[in-house]
């Protein structure tokens, strides 16, 4: 029923150890009947079955594994079960925030190449592999069915298929509602008790940075009485949480005028507009204008400085520079929250950068918290791609005061 692809003896051990991607350089041959997006059986040079997955005719990732059961038929019940498990997990871990969270997270949910975020009664789908694209209509129907089984009506599915990785799969980039839905492309969600407007047509990712949800709540819980600087604030997620948490003053800085305007509107929705100052500036330049002790708590949540392994060293220097500037501004006991959303800036390398920044600035720090993305973005041990968000809470110690 399913065609075979043969993996080399060199690539086979990685698959047997749990790797979820079979790379094209380990592909020896494949049946001539196999088409792009088909489900295929991976076999070794000895002819023994290893796994099944979506085949890509163009991508460097030749096969994305979806099962290791040789008898699996991949009927509608199989896919409905995968989707239902994803939903059940989010209901448990997200609790009262289940109405705005990630519903499907690719490989971590056994649904590779597919991301789905929920914003109230709208689902936003992002497909990055030809296999999911090929059975999209069936999957969308099953997704709605899984929600309806628990009494939740989903009005529409919006497609954010405007990501460049689709080009590697030979897929077109586009966005828009699936089917004939004629609905607004903005909605207002409630996160951590805060109303936030989400533009799922034009916003970052699928509309909002859901992965930092509980990290923003952490900030809300420690912000009381502090003077807070939110760098790269985008539409004000961290700034709003700091203000709601009772911060003495909050400054939110971003280079994007549009993002700041949306941030101010979000502040208005929550009656926090008088407690947050929104500043349009380059963050690196803004920090140079600040004085030491002006802020008690600084948040660095920049966009990914690198999106490939080739530019990691350049990104390292960017992170190093921005963290040095922030550390220099904090008095003894000040708090620095430093983040990276780049999966290529690996955790150990990021920690090395923080230590180097402190050494160069003549300070030390205590690591108060080491956090990751919210649990609706689960980290899969077999796939490092799923572990990308670093969130470090540091207590700065100025050495002349600490030892004096």
Residue 317, exposed/middle/buried by CB under 10 A (0-12, 13-18, 19+)? exposed
Q: Region 329-340: what's the mean pLDDT?
A: 97
pLDDT at res. 403? 42
Strand partners, 119: 100, 122
Closest CA to 265 of 196, 208, 193: 196
Of residues 384 and 229, which shows the higher confidence score?
229
From the options 3.40.50.720, 1.10.1200.10, 2.60.40.10, 2.30.130.10, give the CATH code of 3-67. Answer: 2.30.130.10
**Res. 307: pLDDT tops 70:** no
pLDDT at res. 399? 75
pLDDT at res. 361? 96
**Res. 186: pLDDT tops 70:** yes
Identify the band that residue 394 occupies on the pLDDT scale cut at 50, 70 and 90. very high
pLDDT tens sequence across 264-306? 999 999 999 999 999 999 999 999 999 999 999 999 999 877 6
Residue 284, exposed/middle/buried by CB under 10 A (0-12, 13-18, 19+)? middle
Give the class (CATH, top level) of 76-184. alpha beta
Rounded to two decimals, the pTM is 0.93
pLDDT tens sequence across 92-146? 999 999 999 999 999 999 999 999 999 999 999 999 999 999 999 999 999 999 9
**Res. 400: pLDDT tops 60:** yes
Q: What are phi and psi of 187, to 5 degrees?
A: -150, 165
**Res. 404: pLDDT tops 70:** no
pLDDT at res. 304? 78
Distance from C-alpha of 213 to C-alpha of 234, rounded to nearest angstrom: 14
pLDDT tens sequence across 312-328? 888 899 999 999 999 99
Q: Region 170-186: what's the mean pLDDT?
A: 94
Tell me how many degrees the CA angle 337-339-343 measures, rounded to the nearest 5. Answer: 160
Of residues 250 and 309, which shows the higher confidence score?
250
Q: Would you kindly state where each structural domain of the chain is located, as residue ranges?
A: 3-67, 76-184, 209-402
Domains 3-67 and 76-184 share a fold: no
Answer whether CATH 3.40.50.150 is correct for domain 209-402: yes
Least confident range of 64-73, 306-315, 323-332: 306-315
Q: Region 171-185: what's the mean pLDDT?
A: 94
pLDDT at res. 311? 77
């Amino acid at each position: 029923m399913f065609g075979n692809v043969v993996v080399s003896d060199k690539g086979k051990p990685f698959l047997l150890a749990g790797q979820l991607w079979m790379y094209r350089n380990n592909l020896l041959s494949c049946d001539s009947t196999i088409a792009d997006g088909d489900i295929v059986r991976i076999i070794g040079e000895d002819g023994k079955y290893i796994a099944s997955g979506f085949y890509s005719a163009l991508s460097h990732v030749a096969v994305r594994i979806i099962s290791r059961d040789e008898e699996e038929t991949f009927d509608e019940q199989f896919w409905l079960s995968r989707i239902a498990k994803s939903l059940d997990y989010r209901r448990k871990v997200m609790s009262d925030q289940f109405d705005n969270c990630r519903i499907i997270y690719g490989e971590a949910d056994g649904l590779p190449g597919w991301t789905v975020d929920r914003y109230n009664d709208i689902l936003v789908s992002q497909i990055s592999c030809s296999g999911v694209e090929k059975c999209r209509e069936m999957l969308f129907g099953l997704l709605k069915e899984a929600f309806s089984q628990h009494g939740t009506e989903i009005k529409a599915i919006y497609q954010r298929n405007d990501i460049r990785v689709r080009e590697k799969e030979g897929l077109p980039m586009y966005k828009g509602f699936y089917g004939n839905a004629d609905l607004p492309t903005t909605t207002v969600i409630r996160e951590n008790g805060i109303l936030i407007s989400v533009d799922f047509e034009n916003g970052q990712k699928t509309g909002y940075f859901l992965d930092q949800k509980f990290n923003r709540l952490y900030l809300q819980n420690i912000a009381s009485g502090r003077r807070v600087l939110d760098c790269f604030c985008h539409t004000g997620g961290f700034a709003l949480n700091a203000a709601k948490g009772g911060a003495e003053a909050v400054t939110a800085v971003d280079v994007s005028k549009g993002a700041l305007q949306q941030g101010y509107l979000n502040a208005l929705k929550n009656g926090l507009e008088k407690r947050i100052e929104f500043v349009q500036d380059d963050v690196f330049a803004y920090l140079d204008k600040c004085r030491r002790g002006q802020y008690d708590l600084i948040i660095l949540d920049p966009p990914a400085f690198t999106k490939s392994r080739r530019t990691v060293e350049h990104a390292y220097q960017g992170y190093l520079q921005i963290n040095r500037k922030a550390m220099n501004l904090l008095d003894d006991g000040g708090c620095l929250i430093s983040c990276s959303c780049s999966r290529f800036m690996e955790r150990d390398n990021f920690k090395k950068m923080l230590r180097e920044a402190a050494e160069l600035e003549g300070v030390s720090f205590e690591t108060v918290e080491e956090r990751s993305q919210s649990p609706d973005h689960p980290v899969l041990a077999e796939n490092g791609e799923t572990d990308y968000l670093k969130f470090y809470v540091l207590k700065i110690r100025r050495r002349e005061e600490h030892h004096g």
